Structure 1
Amino acid sequence: MTGSDASPSFRLAYVPGVTPTKWVRIWNERLPDVPLTLVPVSPAEAFDLLRSGGADAGFVRLPVDRTDLSAIPLYTETTVVVVPKDHVIAAVDEVSAEDLADDIVLHPFDDTLDWERRPGLAANERPATTADAVELVAAGVGLLVVPQSLARLHHRKDLTYRPVSDAPESGVALSWPQDATTDLVEDFIGIVRGRTVNSTRGRTQAPAAAPATPKRKPVASKASKAGKATGKSPRSGSGGPKGGKRGKPRRRS
């Protein structure tokens, strides 16, 4: 089967912490004949996957190299610190980076936060992944600062998290190769941006509804027309006597 004969499909990459469920559901409603395949990918590998054609588009973490990739920023996440439930930080609503100065703060290799100066004390070794770092937090080795979605993704009953007020934030964007902005990519962009199926900017549109048939006005009869012209009811006729008051009868003398 040649490429032109192949059935259309759409491959959507997404990094950990992103939940594409809502957009996938809308895609399946609007384009039921075009299967959408989800491709999980690490933040470090996401851009190479897009460039190599391994996915048509992807939810990635900012920043995006705009040299050959297009991107639509979607939202920015709160940054939190993951701690054991019996840690002193669990007793407060929010902390600053300075509040972490005396704690070991783990720095996994897949960290996506752009720190000018990392808070806390450095661990002897860096965990390979965020998932590994969460296990170390549970073991009491140190704390972990991550976007809130990753804290939720790796939730454990013995851990909790609190916002870090002055930490850098992580932004999520929809990205795709600039030279591969296909019709299906345009369709997905429309879904992510909240365009309706009938939007003039979207490519996929619902069939136009048939124009409503105008109702015919009832045709007046000749008698009605005549009545309107003379001001007389067609039922009463034109020669009947007009109604008036009757006088009193005279007395006979």
Structure 2
Amino acid sequence: MTGSEVPLSFRLAYVPGVTPTKWVRIWKERQPDVPLTLVAVSAAEAPDVLRGAGADAGLVRLPIDRTDLSVIPLYTETTVVVIPKDHLVAAVDEVSADDLADDIVLHPLDDTLDWERRPGQPAKERPATTEDAVELVAAGVGLLVVPQSLARLHHRKDLTYRPVSDAPESRIGLSWPEDETTDLVEDFIGIVRGRTVNSSRGRTPAPAQPKSKRPDTGGARRKPAAGRSAGKNPRSGSGGAKGTKGGKPRRRS
């Protein structure tokens, strides 16, 4: 390798709650010579990391400022309320925002849900992070409404969660600088969209295997099947005219 050659690599940013394990595994299978590096970022800083070339692509929470960025929505998460296991809400399978009207509902500074009207009663102070808010829920200070993946990420044995039917949902998308849609970015797009290795919408598919050719017989005609010589009448068993024997003409009287 010369001094000017730089080995290929791919940097993937991801926000809390996103689990890229499956996609990383498929990448390693398809691109064994191109290492993939994971870059953990907060939901707020992810767009700037991409614009600043801190990653080639990123799994982000939507919506984001799409200036100079391309985005592909991937999936939508269920929104849940995190509660102590002995809370009244734990006795039901699902709640609405109105069911939380009498509770203090924490609103961390890194909240990514787009609320028109937040449920419950506001706390005196906003926790700095979702993780801090979970600790306050465990301490009995209030409840917390978050995307389900974040409830799982910060799971505690003394807490549980229930879906909130009418809460805004959080979407996850793949984003990258719109002027940097490289071959490697296209490869990763194909992976998250479930394309096969030879998909025509991915990078150049693997060349098709050449079809095997029949052996050259030199133009020779195929031999007739055994017992059926060329020109023989299948009924008379000979090549003579009908009504003759052994191919000899019939004697006139």
TM-score by length of 1: 0.87
Task: Say whether residues 1:97 and 2:97 are aligned partners.
Answer: yes
Query: For the residues of structure 1 that align with 2:136 and 2:166, how far apart are their CA atoms?
Result: 24
TM-score by length of 2: 0.87
Which stretch of structure 1 is more off in the superposition, 172-181 or 223-232?
223-232
Q: Match for residue 221 of structure 1?
A: 223
Pick the structure with more helix per residue.
Answer: 1
Q: Per-residue displacement from partner, 1:24-80 (whole Å, max 9, x unpaired)?
A: 111111111000000011001101100000000000000122221100001111100
Partner secondary structure for residue 113 of structure 2 = coil
Task: Say whether residues 1:11 and 2:11 are aligned partners.
Answer: yes
Partner secondary structure for residue 76 of structure 1 = strand
For 2:79, the aligned partner's letter is T
Cα distance change on mapping 1:183 and 1:104 into 2, 3 Å:
same
Partner secondary structure for residue 179 of structure 2 = helix
How far residue 226 of structure 1 moved from its aligned partner, in angstroms, is 6.3
Q: Match for residue 230 of structure 1?
A: 232
Cα distance change on mapping 1:179 and 1:4 into 2, 3 Å:
farther
Q: Match for residue 250 of structure 1?
A: none
Give me the identity figure in percent.
75
For 2:86, the aligned partner's letter is D
1:1-253 residue pairs with structure 2 within 5 A? Answer: 5-214=5-214, 220-221=222-223, 227-232=229-234
Q: CA RMSD in A?
A: 2.6
Query: For the residues of structure 2 that align with 1:211 and 1:134, how far apart are their CA atoms?
Result: 62
How far residue 186 of structure 1 moved from its aligned partner, in angstroms, is 1.0
Query: For the residues of structure 2 that align with 1:39 and 1:122, how far apart are their CA atoms?
Result: 34
- The answer on whether the counterparts of 2:73 and 2:173 sit within 8 Å (CA) in structure 1 is yes
Count the aligned residue pairs. 240
Gaps of 5+ in 1: 241-253
How far residue 2 of structure 1 moved from its aligned partner, in angstroms, is 8.2
Query: For the residues of structure 1 that align with 2:39 and 2:162, how far apart are their CA atoms?
Result: 30
For 1:46, the aligned partner's letter is A
How far residue 223 of structure 1 moved from its aligned partner, in angstroms, is 7.9
Which stretch of structure 1 is more off in the superposition, 121-130 or 201-210?
201-210
- The answer on whether the counterparts of 2:59 and 2:175 sit within 8 Å (CA) in structure 1 is yes
Which stretch of structure 1 is more off in the superposition, 56-65 or 213-222?
213-222
- The answer on whether the counterparts of 1:105 and 1:143 sit within 8 Å (CA) in structure 2 is yes
Query: For the residues of structure 1 that align with 2:40 and 2:13, how far apart are their CA atoms?
Result: 6
Cα distance change on mapping 1:2 and 1:71 into 2, 3 Å:
farther
Cα distance change on mapping 1:216 and 1:90 into 2, 3 Å:
farther
Partner secondary structure for residue 231 of structure 2 = helix
Partner secondary structure for residue 180 of structure 1 = coil
Partner secondary structure for residue 83 of structure 1 = strand
Cα distance change on mapping 1:126 and 1:223 into 2, 3 Å:
closer
- The answer on whether the counterparts of 1:197 and 1:204 sit within 8 Å (CA) in structure 2 is no
Query: For the residues of structure 1 that align with 2:132 and 2:183, how far apart are their CA atoms?
Result: 40
Gaps of 5+ in 2: 240-244, 247-253
